[in-house]
Amino acid sequence: MLDSERQSIDLDIVCVGLGPATGGFLTTLSRGLIRADGTPEIESKVMPGMPLQVACYERADDIGFGVSGIATRARSLKESFPELNVAEISLAAEITSEKVLYLLDPIGAGRRSPTLRMADRIIRALKWLPFFEKDAFELPYIPPFLRKEGGFVFSIGQLMQWVGADLMSTGTAVIWPGTPVSGPLIEGENVVGVRLVDQGVDKEGRPAGGYMPGMDIRAALTVVGDGPVGPVGRQLDEHFGFPEGNQHTEWAVGAKMVIDLRDDVRLEPGTIFHTFGFPEPEIFGFMYAHTECIVSAGIFVPSWFKNPARTSYRYLQHWMMHPYFWRYLEGGRLRSWGAKSLQESGRRGEPFLVGNGYARIGEGSGSTNVLTGSGVDEAWMTGKQLAESVLELAKAEKQYTKENLEQTYVKKRRSSWVEKEGRIAEKSRDGFQRSVVRGMIGMVLAGFTGGKLTLSGKSGKDEASTLEDYYRGKIPPAELDRIRRECTEQGLPLHDALMQKVGWPEIPFDGQLLVSQQDALLMGGKVQAPAGYADHVVFLYPELCENCGDKICVEICSGQAIEREPEGGVRFDREKCVHCGACFWNCSHSVAAGEGKSNIEFRAGAGGLHSAEN
């Protein structure tokens, strides 16, 4: 079939990605589209006489197959749902208690700075204090900017299912899961819609049986809420660039498990823990109690963690086995598991929010607050603000031009708490680029001074060390070579061998919570890859991969979907991919095609996680 046979439909508004931002957008928009008597409040331009024709295309196989453990103040959700009763939402609870813990390293295998080692010694010497328990020091005071009191614990999967059901019941917008969007349709400087991915193709994207070219969805407004690794947002970034001074330089991969606690362990629903210090000082962790017997536990591995053999899965297992948490989690059972990338540049990663025919909302629009570690609340609010603006423009019969969207949506966003708090947070984490201690002090300074005081770090993209640098003094270069060679021959990542070499104990698999990464794909993530779609992870210049020494993409891959080839290159197995997107921002090779573009292209793809509990 020729490209000219590609079909096209016209809508008024097309949305990409159904996360909290698009949830906020569609919830707000849907309430303004129909009058009480059932007639359209705003008439469609593409179907005169009908209400606005609005559709949302979501990559995952169902709504609510996203990943995030959420403890949120939920200010924007409460605005949208003043009568919100969390009992209606599965795995939701009001926050009842908060703890922030500094975890000591009971194993001694982590790479701690002399300052931290000294702090550890002082804390251990004071272990008779009431704040010390099970190798953890509970901060006696939680700064106000970090507190989530009055908020909720959610499972993003269940929250989005609830939001989606509410939306669908209005009948004003349709949501199409299992429908990845390939990219934006750009004509000149105008975005005129999106193109869906081709179906019925082989793994290289060549037409095969049942070939159907991805349809063009043309719309007056394209709402881009496809998150930090979404193909539409990133292609817009490539085409339009960033406002001066802004860029996506900081990332993290978050990995989490939803766990049934063993029968004799109960936690008060809404209990939340945040941690730092272990398994490596750069890694943050959390545990949230959804019910008295179901918790989410997870960690964040940031791009400023220099270990080129960084892995979220193995570190998550060590984090869970820290004595402070293992007393709760031992004997537990894995219900669900998943991973996602987080855009950690926050306000400084903000792209052009609007242009002719498009608007950006949510995490991909730089709304995440990197100081408070809050993203869902902000994302929902940006969607809500855009919907209010769209209704305003539509009622005034104004077009969705850059100028009109700036006068409404951008203006609204700039004058809101999302912007104000985002500005405070903007430089709060800079210190982490030099050291963890400096980073923590920087956060506290920024939080208490409203962003007026911060500690600087280097600017530009975080770079991992080489293995030789990172393990200097711990593993001799010859031994590193041997490990690298052996793992390459066996097609294995390096992190297990390296971590064990420096003292991390083997994980004692129990078959129900401590399971291999491959088993987690099946037991927790239930990862699926429908046939007829092309590989969405593409190595642009394979020869670069062959000559790449550390292959961080293999180490960080949340599903072990990228493997070392014995011949020296790497290969991708779509059936294991959870679509976390960590591969492209961990790739250390820039390619000539564009500054900041790595050798891994993370395209639109179908399938991924099949759990609605994350």
Partner 1 sequence: MNGGYQIVVCGSIVPDPLQTLEPVAGPTGPALRNEMMLPAVLDPWAAHALYEAANLAKQHSGSKVWWVALGPKAKLQQLMMSMAQKVPFELVALDGTASGFSDSWEVAEALAGAIESIPELDRDRLLLFGGWESASRGTGVTMQMVGERLGITDQFQGVDELTIESDGSLRLLERVEGGHHQVSVCGSPPVVVGWATGRLPEPPNNPQVGMLNMRTVMPALQRAKLVQLSTEGLTFHSVDLPEQRRETRIVRDSSADEIALELVDWIKSD
For residue 1, state whether it binds partner 1 (rule: CB under 8 A).
no
Return the range that interacts with partner 1 (CB under 8 A); candidates 55-63, 114-122, 295-303, 304-312: 55-63
For residue 12, state whether it binds partner 1 (rule: CB under 8 A).
no
**Which residue type sits at 233?**
G
Range 436-465, binding partner 1 (CB under 8 A): none
Beta-strand relationship, 97-103 and 136-138: antiparallel
Beta-strand relationship, 54-57 and 174-176: parallel
For residue 179, state whether it binds partner 1 (rule: CB under 8 A).
yes
Nearer to partner 1, 339 or 455 (CB): 339
Alpha carbon distance 541, 538 (integer Å): 9
Return the range that interacts with partner 1 (CB under 8 A); candidates 142-150, 438-446, 469-477, 525-533: 525-533
Report helix, strand or coil for 135. coil
Alpha carbon distance 138, 589 (integer Å): 41
For residue 6, state whether it binds partner 1 (rule: CB under 8 A).
no
105-109: which pairs have CB atoms within 8 A and are 24 or more residues apart?
105/135, 105/277, 105/278, 105/279, 106/135, 106/322, 106/323, 107/279, 107/318, 107/503, 107/504, 107/505, 108/503, 109/279, 109/499, 109/502, 109/503, 109/504
Nearer to partner 1, 61 or 468 (CB): 61
Return the range that interacts with partner 1 (CB under 8 A); candidates 26-34, 298-306, 372-380, 523-531: 523-531
**Contact between residue 103 and residue 324 where contact means Cβ atoms under 8 Å apart:** yes
Task: Give the count of residues interacting with partner 1 (CB under 8 A).
Answer: 47
Instruction: Give min distance, CB of 162 to partner 1, in A.
Output: 9
For residue 208, state whether it binds partner 1 (rule: CB under 8 A).
no
Instruction: Give min distance, CB of 518 to partner 1, in A.
Output: 6
Alpha carbon distance 264, 366 (integer Å): 43
For residue 164, state whether it binds partner 1 (rule: CB under 8 A).
yes
Return the range that interacts with partner 1 (CB under 8 A); candidates 173-181, 313-321, 363-371, 588-596: 173-181
Burial class (CB in 10 A: 0-12, 13-18, 19+), 83: exposed
Q: Cα angle at 293 between 292 and 296, to 5 degrees? A: 100
Q: Name, in order, each residue with C-beta under 8 angstroms of 93's C-beta and a sequence gap of 6 or more.
A: 86, 152, 153, 269, 270, 289, 290, 291
For residue 591, state whether it binds partner 1 (rule: CB under 8 A).
no
| Binding residue (CB under 8 A) for partner 1 from 34, 55, 107, 444 | 55
**Contact between residue 481 and residue 455 where contact means Cβ atoms under 8 Å apart:** no
Alpha carbon distance 197, 176 (integer Å): 13
Nearer to partner 1, 456 or 518 (CB): 518
Binding mask 58-77 for partner 1 (x = CB under 8 A): ---xxxxx------------
Nearer to partner 1, 196 or 507 (CB): 196
Nearer to partner 1, 323 or 568 (CB): 568
Q: Which H/E stretch holds residue 209?
A: strand 207-212
Return the range that interacts with partner 1 (CB under 8 A); candidates 118-126, 356-364, 527-535, 548-556: 527-535
Residues contributing to the site for partner 1 (CB under 8 A) = 7, 9, 53, 55, 61-65, 90-91, 158, 161, 164-165, 168-169, 171, 174-179, 196, 199-200, 210, 212, 215, 217, 335-336, 491, 516, 518-519, 522, 526, 528, 530-532, 610-613
